[in-house]
Structure 1
Amino acid sequence: MSERPHEIAEETVAFLRHHRLDPTPQNYTLCYAAHSGAHPALHKALTEISDDGIRVTQKDADELFAQFLTALPAGLTNEEPDIARALRHQTLKITDAVNDAAVVAGAFNNELSSDYDRLKADPANVATIVATMLDRSRKAENDLAAAMAELQTLRTELEAAREDSNRDAVTNLRNRRALLSHLAELAEAKRAHVLAICDVDKFKSVNDTYGHVVGDRVLKSIGSALSHACAPHPVGRWGGEEFLVIISDTELGEAKRIIEEAREHVASTRYKLRETDEPIGSITFSAGLTSVNKSDKSAQDALIRADKLLYLAKSEGRNRSIAA
């Protein structure tokens, strides 16, 4: 698991403390979004305010939140309310845990100051006062340990929720968002890659004949076959009955060989209904492959080419791949 989210959380809390902003859910969300790099415009606006050691005021924070974060967090849409709610819920719980740790530390400091004053006023009872201080120290350590353990658990849960937001619910492969994110990373690193769009042939008839439950099983099976044949290259559900395979650092000819191996495996599999053992027959897919070229303005140009090649494969009889 990446440590980066943990580092961002720690940077966020440190920023709030430095600027004397209360670690409320709104302030935490604002600073986390700025420090994570997910919102460059917000990061720039926050940096401009805090340059030259100027503290960010609560009024500044409220205005920035209203300006940049009135919508859902980046990458979440109204189509995924459960994931959005889960992430917001975990953020609130993490903020509560941070506040609990701060309360424990503050109370301990106050108690130590009080005990120190007692030592100066009554040096004869030093043993009793020191014993009291040690008890308070042990209690503070236990309370802090419990708060930090809860914080670590919540961080793990938040990381799991983020991972879920990048997974397709039917196939458990990467979803469209995760694939687009990976394409952006490849483009930034200027790594060569081939895109293969694979579409299940006559999938509508499977759904119409056997129902969506069986259709989902077919999609899961084909996704698994593609993922196995194309490993370690990422495979994801692009949408509907389409899958996208991103094959990095590989020539187009070799990429086609990989896709052909997966296609032949799928075509040779005989699918049956789980409940009755009734044969469904052969399921096949067609694919269009193309390399992402330096002349492409974005991955979208290559995706359009791959899509055209896919439908050329369909028009030439299906159950084949075409690369160009």
Structure 2
Amino acid sequence: MPASKPTKKTSPFEIAREALGHVGKFQTPPTPSVYEVWYRYVEGVDDIIANLAHAVEDVNAVSVDMLEQLHEQYCRNIDDSNAELSDNLAHEISSLQSIIESQMHAGVQLGNELDEACGTLKETTPTAESVAECAQKMLSSNNTMQDQIRQLQTQLQASQAKVESLQAELSETQLVAMTDPLTNLGNRRHFDVQVHQALMLAKSEDLFSFLLLVDLDHFKYINDTFGHESGDKVIRYVASQLTQLCPESPISRLGGDEFAIILRNDDFSEATDIAAEIRQYFASTPLKLSGSGEDLGKIELSIGGARLRQDDDGRSWFIRADKLLYQAKNSGRNSVMLEHSRGGV
């Protein structure tokens, strides 16, 4: 379920004071990275709230490791890093263009030199000496051209390798920025990208999607009874099983115990079958803690799903799915509630 946001403060002094209060309350060291996460949490940064509010409000336990992961993912200036990589990539691509232009120029120059060398042959009756002189100039120009080509090819290969390396590094940086560190699923940024892609597919290819929001029932009980570490294990387990159950669908962890799945079709019957299979799988699979062998019981969850409409944006689509998730919770939990028609919920 969406975590309730802390009341936003307007004064930096108020934000700083409340952030320090969280440092003391949860006994986390006031290192720069830890303090910055608490500051952003109080300030109202959505990504940090989505990942931290459950631990703060429900579990009442926050680990330093969690804060460090959140700092790495949301506070480190990924945009600046991407901008620097993009600048380097643009520079190397420009170098590639220059090398190609140099090679073209060398070819033109060779042609001019050959024309000049053979010019005397066109104007007068060729003699043995003029033919030999022309051949010598052609050979010299060709040797020069071959040397230039070899140098340019070496530069071209080096520049191409650099471009490929920078492209791979940029892709890796973007992937890290969109990955949830606990589950290795997509995070909130990944979800936003997938929603945008779904909207584009609907406009360009008339391909509509179903958004499923999945929320664990009574997850607070697991954390309170077995501890936060066990709760993390359950979250990782749910993430891995969702990936197996929906291998072709983008899956994101929105924070806490809530996940989002985008089905690349808007068939109600098929979406209902998938949602029911997910619910039934967890409800029928008892779990035990590795190591201690303690019985965790079965994982129950609720699912709400909404069809993408032609007049939707990402927010309206999410709100309808979230409303149906609340209805599934309020109807007794461990249930599925999907939007049957393209009309109102």
TM-score band w.r.t. shorter chain: 0.5 to 0.7
Pair 1:277-2:272 in alignment: no
CA shift, 1:265, in A, is: 1.0
Paired residues of 2:210 and 2:263 also in contact (CA < 8 A): yes
The higher relative CO (CA closer than 8 Å, separation ≥ 6) is in 2
Aligned equivalent of 2:240: 224
CA shift, 1:155, in A, is: 2.1
Q: What is the rounded CA distance, in whole Å, between the counterparts of 2:179 and 2:243 in structure 1?
A: 14
Paired residues of 2:324 and 2:337 also in contact (CA < 8 A): yes
Given the alignment, which residue of 72, 76, 81 partners 2:76? 81
Aligned equivalent of 1:178: 193
Aligned equivalent of 2:332: 317
SS at match of 1:79: helix
Identity of aligned residues (%): 29
The alignment of Structure 1 onto Structure 2 pairs a total of residues equal to 246
Pair 1:148-2:160 in alignment: yes
Given the alignment, which residue of 242, 251, 259 partners 1:235? 251
Given the alignment, which residue of 310, 313, 316 partners 1:301? 316
Paired residues of 2:214 and 2:258 also in contact (CA < 8 A): yes
Paired residues of 2:266 and 2:308 also in contact (CA < 8 A): no
- Give the residue type in structure 1 aligned to 2:155: D
Structure 1 window deviating more from structure 2 (228-237 vs 97-106): it is 97-106
Q: What is the rounded CA distance, in whole Å, between the counterparts of 2:152 and 2:97 in structure 1?
A: 11
Unaligned residue ranges in structure 2 (runs of 5+): 1-72, 118-132, 340-345
Q: What is the rounded CA distance, in whole Å, between the counterparts of 2:142 and 2:210 in structure 1?
A: 70
Q: What is the rounded CA distance, in whole Å, between the counterparts of 1:130 and 1:162 in structure 2?
A: 47
Q: TM-score, normalised by structure 1?
A: 0.62
Q: What is the rounded CA distance, in whole Å, between the counterparts of 1:304 and 1:131 in structure 2?
A: 71
Given the alignment, which residue of 165, 169, 175 partners 2:177? 165
Q: What is the RMSD computed on CA atoms of the aligned residues?
A: 3.6
Q: Mapping of 1:181-220 within 5 angstroms?
A: 181-188=196-203, 189-220=205-236
Q: What is the rounded CA distance, in whole Å, between the counterparts of 2:220 and 2:148 in structure 1?
A: 69
Q: TM-score, normalised by structure 2?
A: 0.58
1:219-264 Cα shifts (integer Å, max 9, x gaps): 2321232232234333322333211222343432331221111111
CA shift, 1:110, in A, is: 8.0
- Give the residue type in structure 2 aligned to 1:185: M
Pair 1:90-2:106 in alignment: no
Q: 1:204 to 1:82 in 2, by over 3 A?
A: farther
Q: What is the rounded CA distance, in whole Å, between the counterparts of 1:275 and 1:92 in structure 2?
A: 49
Q: What is the rounded CA distance, in whole Å, between the counterparts of 1:153 and 1:226 in structure 2?
A: 33
Pair 1:136-2:131 in alignment: no
Q: What is the rounded CA distance, in whole Å, between the counterparts of 2:239 and 2:266 in structure 1?
A: 21
Paired residues of 2:106 and 2:145 also in contact (CA < 8 A): no
- Give the residue type in structure 2 aligned to 1:140: L
CA shift, 1:210, in A, is: 4.1
Unaligned residue ranges in structure 1 (runs of 5+): 1-77
Q: 1:289 to 1:125 in 2, by over 3 A?
A: closer
Q: What is the rounded CA distance, in whole Å, between the counterparts of 2:291 and 2:210 in structure 1?
A: 39
